[in-house]
Structure 1
Amino acid sequence: MQIVETLNEGLKRAYTLTVTAKDIHARVDEEVKTIAPQIRMPGFRPGKVPSNLVRKMHGPALAREALDKSIRAGIDKIVADNALRPAMQPSVELTEDYEEGKDAEIKVAMEVLPQITAPSIEGLKLERLTVEVTDEAVDEGVNRIASQNQRFSEAKAGHKAKEGDQVVMDFVGKVDGVAFEGGTGTDMAVVIGSGNLIPGFEDQLVGVKVGEEKTINVTFPEEYQATNLAGKAATFDLSITAVKVPSEGGPDDEFAKSLGLESLQQLRDLVKGQVEQEHNGLTRTYMKRKLLDQLAASHDFDVPPSMVDAEFQQIWAQLEHEASHEEDAEAARAEIEKDRDDYRKIAERRVRLGLLLSEIGQANGVEVTQQEMNRLVTQAAMQYSPQDRERFVEYIRNEPMAAAQLRAPLYEDKVVDFLFEKAEITDRVVARADLEAAIESEDTDVHVHGPDCGHDHGHDHSAKAKKPAAKKVKAEEPAAEAEALAEDAKSKKAAPKKAKADADAPVAEGDAKPKKAPAKKKAEA
C-alpha cells in the first residue's frame, strides 16, 4: 500500500492511496480460508470444497470486499500517521473502475478539525440580571390558570349564548350534503371566542339557546390537516344540549381543590416557583449570550467548511420551513434570501463556538457521567412507542455518533456552568420587562447580523432594524454537532456522518443515518 499526500492547505487534506493487486490478493486468500469451511457444494463433503473453487465462485465479490477493507485500513493509517482529526466522513473516489488483478488507485479527501490553543478562561466578567417575583406576577399566573380552567354553570332558561359562554352540542358535518368521516360527534363543549374550532364556526354560535337546532356554513382552511377537507365548504347540523356561563368569583380554595391541590395558597406557591424558574431561565439566557460573545470575540480560528455547510443547511431549512407557513410565503422567502450571507456567518459562529466549548470542556475535565447519559437515553426513548424504545436504546448503544449528538447539549450546558463558576459575576436586580428587552435587543443585533455584530460595519443596530419575515435564528447557540464531532474525532479514527434529524422536526433533514432508529410514536389527534 502506497500513500502520497497531494494537498495540505488549511484544514483540507488530500491523499492518493494505491492498493496493490498483491495486497488485494493476500486479503482474498485470507477471506477464502475463512469462508471455505462453511461452503457447501455438490460432490464435496461439508467444509472440503477446494479453495480454488471457492475463489472461482466468489472471487469478484471477495476482491471488492478486500478492496473496501484495504481502503478503510489505508484511511486509518493516514489518520493515525498524520495525527488527524477528521471533521466529517472522508470522501473516497476510485480514479477508474476497479479491475480484478490490477492495482487500485484511490483519492481520499477530508477536512480536519482545527488545532485550538487551550482557551484562556481567566478574566471573564459577567453581569447577572435577576428579577424578583412580585405578588402581581403570582396573581397574574394564578388568574391565567383560572382562565384556562374556567368553571361554568348552567345558564338561566332562555339565555342566548354570547362570547365567553360554553356551548355543548351534538353535530353532524357534511360536504356536498354527505356526512364525512370524523365529522359527527356528541356532547362537544366549546367556549365561544376560544378559537379552538375552524374560522367562522364559533361566531355562528352566538345567540343559540338550549334545545335549538341550527345549521351553520363554514369553509375549511386551505392548510387544514385533513387534506380531503382542505378548502372545502361544509355544513354542520347542530343540536344545542346546554349553554353555560362562566362562574362568578376569582380563584379560591375550591378552585384549587378542583385541580387536585389542598388550597389556594398551595397553588400560589406552585405558581411562584414556576415564575422563579422562568426568571432564572431568562437570566441564564442573557448571561450565556454575553459569555459566548466574549469567547467569540477573543478566539478566531478557521473552521471546517463542511461543518459550516451542514450547520447552514440546517438553519436554512428551518427558515424556509417557517417562511412557507407565512401568509405571503414568497415574500418571506425573498426576505430571508437577502440575509443569506448573514446566516452563513451565524452558522460559522455556531460551529466555532461548539468546537471552542468542546476544547474548554476537555481541557478542564468537564464530562457527562454514565448516569447522566443513561438518563438522557431514557428520556429520549420515551418519545417512541413502547415497542420501539428498546430498539432506540440499542441504536444509541451501537452508534457512537448518535450518542455523541444526544450528549452534546448537556455537555454544552455543563461547560457553560463551569465557565460561570470561573467568571467574575456582578448582580443587578431589574424588572422582567427590562430583562426581556435586553434579550430582545441581543436578538436584533446578534441573530440577524451574525458574528460580526457588536462592531460597527454599517449595519443598522437600532431597535427598528429590519428583521426577516421568518423566525430569527439564534446566532449564539453553538452547534451541538460540533462538540459531538470534536469528541468523536478524539476517540475514533474517522468521524461518521451525522445522524439524520428526526422526521417530525420542523427543519429539513441532514445526512442519512448509518442505521435507522425506530420511528417515533405518532402524536394523538
Structure 2
Amino acid sequence: MGLFSLKSDKAKFKKLKEEGCVVTLSLEVPPNEVEEHTQNALVRLQQRARLPGFRVGKAPLDVVKQHFSGHAREEALDAAIRKHVPAAISELKLRVVDAPSVEDVKWKEGEALSLQVRVEVAPTPTAKDYVKIPVVRKPAAADEAALTKRLEELREAHARLEAAKEESVGTAHFAVIDFAASRDGKTLPNAKGTSELVDMSAEQSVEGLTSGLLGMKRGESKPLKVKLGGKETDLSVTVKEIKVKILPAVDAEFAKDLGFETVEEVRSKLKEVLDREAKSEADVDVARQIEESLVKANKFPLPPSMVERQLEGMMERMSRQFSGAGKIPEKVLADLRAKLQPKAEDEVRLAFVMSAIAEKEKIEVAEAEIQAELEAGLKEAEDEAKKDEMRKVFDKRKDQIAHMIRERKTLAFLKEKAAYKDS
C-alpha cells in the first residue's frame, strides 16, 4: 500500500502504515498554528486565572504564561488534535470504529508539532460463498417416538406415590427416612431430617446412601457409613415407609386431568406443540449452519477493540449467571476469557459479513418495517405507561432496531438461497 498525504490549513497528514484493521497516521502542525492555539489557550486561562496581586481575568498574558504554560500547552495540543485528526480521518475516508489514540508527540516551543495517530477501522469484506450454502435440514415435525416420550413425561409429572407391598427397600422404591449425621462422634449441624424422601433409582449427593438403604425393612433403624461433602460420615437412618411410584394410565380420566375430553385430544395438542418445537429447533439449526459456514469462508482481520467489547459483554453475561456463586477465582475468569475469545471473534466477523451481504444484495429496511416491529411490541405491553416507555426506547434505538431487522432479512435471504439436504 502506498502512502497518501494531503494538506489542510497548512497541517500535513500522512498514512504511515496499515496493519490489519489498525491504521497509523502522522500529523504535523506548523509553528504558526501551534502558537495560535497556545495564545488562544492562554487567553482562556487568563479569563479565569486567580493570581496574587491581580483581579480574576486581569493578569497580563506573560504572567499567566509563567504560571500556566503547562496547562496552555495541553489545551493547545488538544485543540490541534480536535481540529486536524477528524479532518484526516474524513479525507482518508476511514471507517473508524473506536476513539483514535495519540502517540509519539514531539513539540518544542517555536517548532512544528508532530505526532502519530492510531485508529482502528472497520474491515471491508467482500462476502464470499454465501449462496447455496450446504445445509443439512432436521425434520420440522415430531415423530411418534417424540410424542410417546412427551406422553411419558406427562405421566411422570402426574404420578403418585403409594405404600409398597414389599417389606424391604428395593431399587424401584422411594424410601421415607429419618436421619442424623455425625463425624468423630460429634453430631453435624444442619445434617438431620425427618420424613425425607429418597428416590432409590436416582443418584444421590450422599455417596453410599442408596446402597446402605437397599434391603432395609420398614421400621428398621441402622447406622450407615457414607461420604458427605467428600468426607467419611456416620449416618443413623430409620426407614419409616417404603413407597412405589404409580403412573396414571393414558385414558379418559388422565385426559380430563389435563383439561381435555379424550386421549386423542391430548395427543393432537401434544403433536401440535412438538411440531412447533421441532420447526423452531430446525430453523435455529439451519441458521447455525449458515453462520458457521460464513465465518469459515470469510477470513479477514478484525478491529481489536470490537472483539474486546464483544468479549467483555460475554464475560459480563456469564458473571451475572454465576453471581450467586460468590467471587469467581481469577484463574477461572482467565480460562473463561481464553475459551470465549474465538466465539467473540466469530460474532464480530459474522456481523461484518452479514452487513456486506446486505449491501451487496441491496437488502434495506423500510420505515414501515420499523413501525411494524414497534406495533408488535406494543401488543405485548400491559398498559399505556409501558407503551409510552416502549415508544421512547424505539425512538432512541431506531438505528439498532433497523440493523436487527436488516440482519433478520439477510438471514432469511441466505436461508432461501441455501442448498438443503434432509437428514
TM over 0.5: yes
Residue type matched to 2:172 in 1? G
Q: 1:27 to 1:14 in 2, by over 3 A?
A: same
Whether contact under 8 Å (1:216, 1:236) holds in the other structure is: yes
Aligned length: 363
Q: 1:11 to 1:165 in 2, by over 3 A?
A: same
Identify unmatched segments of 5+ residues in structure 1.
Answer: 221-228, 318-339, 380-392, 436-525
For residue 82 of structure 1, what is the aligned residue in structure 2?
92
For residue 419 of structure 1, what is the aligned residue in structure 2?
414
Residue type matched to 2:208 in 1? G
Residue type matched to 2:203 in 1? G
Counterpart-to-counterpart distance in 2, 1:285 and 1:122: 19
For residue 356 of structure 1, what is the aligned residue in structure 2?
353
Whether contact under 8 Å (1:308, 1:347) holds in the other structure is: no
SS of 2:96's partner is: coil
Alignment match of 1:23 (pick from 37, 44, 61): 37
Alignment match of 2:302 (pick from 301, 304, 307): 304
Counterpart-to-counterpart distance in 2, 1:197 and 1:236: 14
Counterparts in 2 of 1:465-504, with a 5 A limit?
Answer: none
Residue type matched to 1:140 in 2? K
Q: 1:99 to 1:304 in 2, by over 3 A?
A: same
Whether contact under 8 Å (1:171, 1:185) holds in the other structure is: yes
Whether contact under 8 Å (2:298, 2:353) holds in the other structure is: no
State whether structure 2 residue 193 is matched by structure 1 residue 193.
Answer: no
Whether contact under 8 Å (1:218, 1:233) holds in the other structure is: yes
SS of 1:163's partner is: coil
Moved more, 187-196 or 299-308: 299-308
Greater strand content? 2
For residue 14 of structure 1, what is the aligned residue in structure 2?
24
Tell me by how many angstroms 1:357 deviates: 0.7
Q: TM-score, normalised by structure 2?
A: 0.61
Residue type matched to 1:203 in 2? S
For residue 4 of structure 1, what is the aligned residue in structure 2?
14
For residue 151 of structure 1, what is the aligned residue in structure 2?
160
Residue type matched to 2:201 in 1? G
Counterparts in 2 of 1:89-238, with a 5 A limit?
Answer: 90-95=100-105, 105-117=114-126, 128=137, 130-147=139-156, 150-156=159-165, 159-180=167-188, 182-220=190-228, 229=229, 231-238=230-237
Counterpart-to-counterpart distance in 2, 1:201 and 1:89: 61
Tell me by how many angstroms 1:374 deviates: 11
**CA-to-aligned-CA distance 1:10-38 (integer Å, 9 cap, x gap):** 644101345746536635754775xx5xx
Q: 1:124 to 1:244 in 2, by over 3 A?
A: closer
Counterpart-to-counterpart distance in 2, 1:116 and 1:13: 17
Whether contact under 8 Å (1:128, 1:425) holds in the other structure is: no
Greater radius of gyration (CA): 2
Q: 1:136 to 1:40 in 2, by over 3 A?
A: same
Q: 1:279 to 1:412 in 2, by over 3 A?
A: same
For residue 287 of structure 1, what is the aligned residue in structure 2?
286
Tell me by how many angstroms 1:141 deviates: 1.6
Q: 1:354 to 1:264 in 2, by over 3 A?
A: same
Residue type matched to 2:199 in 1? V
Identify unmatched segments of 5+ residues in structure 2.
Answer: 1-10, 316-337, 381-389
Tell me by how many angstroms 1:244 deviates: 1.3
> CA RMSD for the aligned pairs?
5.4
**CA-to-aligned-CA distance 1:431-464 (integer Å, 9 cap, x gap):** xxxx3xxxxxxxxxxxxxxxxxxxxxxxxxxxxx
Counterpart-to-counterpart distance in 2, 1:210 and 1:286: 52
Whether contact under 8 Å (1:170, 1:188) holds in the other structure is: yes
For residue 225 of structure 1, what is the aligned residue in structure 2?
none
Counterparts in 2 of 1:44-63, with a 5 A limit?
Answer: 49-50=56-57
Counterpart-to-counterpart distance in 1, 2:71 and 2:239: 74
Q: 1:12 to 1:174 in 2, by over 3 A?
A: same
Residue type matched to 1:85 in 2? R
Whether contact under 8 Å (2:212, 2:224) holds in the other structure is: yes
SS of 1:144's partner is: helix
Counterparts in 2 of 1:229-378, with a 5 A limit?
Answer: 229=229, 231-252=230-251, 254-255=253-254, 264-265=263-264, 267-288=266-287, 291-292=290-291, 300=298, 302-304=300-302, 306=304, 351-361=348-358, 363-366=362-365, 369=370
**CA-to-aligned-CA distance 1:149-205 (integer Å, 9 cap, x gap):** 54211224x622222322233444445454555534444323112225343333323
Whether contact under 8 Å (1:311, 1:351) holds in the other structure is: no
Tell me by how many angstroms 1:413 deviates: 4.4
Counterpart-to-counterpart distance in 2, 1:281 and 1:272: 14
SS of 1:272's partner is: helix
Counterpart-to-counterpart distance in 2, 1:89 and 1:424: 39
Tell me by how many angstroms 1:142 deviates: 1.2
Identity %: 23
**CA-to-aligned-CA distance 1:99-119 (integer Å, 9 cap, x gap):** 999986543223422234587
For residue 388 of structure 1, what is the aligned residue in structure 2?
none
Counterpart-to-counterpart distance in 2, 1:80 and 1:141: 61
Q: TM-score, normalised by structure 1?
A: 0.51
Moved more, 203-212 or 52-61: 52-61
Residue type matched to 1:356 in 2? V
Counterpart-to-counterpart distance in 2, 1:100 and 1:233: 78
Moved more, 76-85 or 343-352: 343-352
Tell me by how many angstroms 1:416 deviates: 1.1
SS of 1:138's partner is: helix
Counterpart-to-counterpart distance in 2, 1:251 and 1:70: 81
SS of 1:207's partner is: coil
SS of 1:130's partner is: coil
Counterpart-to-counterpart distance in 1, 2:74 and 2:188: 58
Counterpart-to-counterpart distance in 1, 2:196 and 2:79: 64
Counterparts in 2 of 1:31-46, with a 5 A limit?
Answer: 36=48
Counterpart-to-counterpart distance in 1, 2:76 and 2:234: 68
Counterpart-to-counterpart distance in 1, 2:172 and 2:208: 16
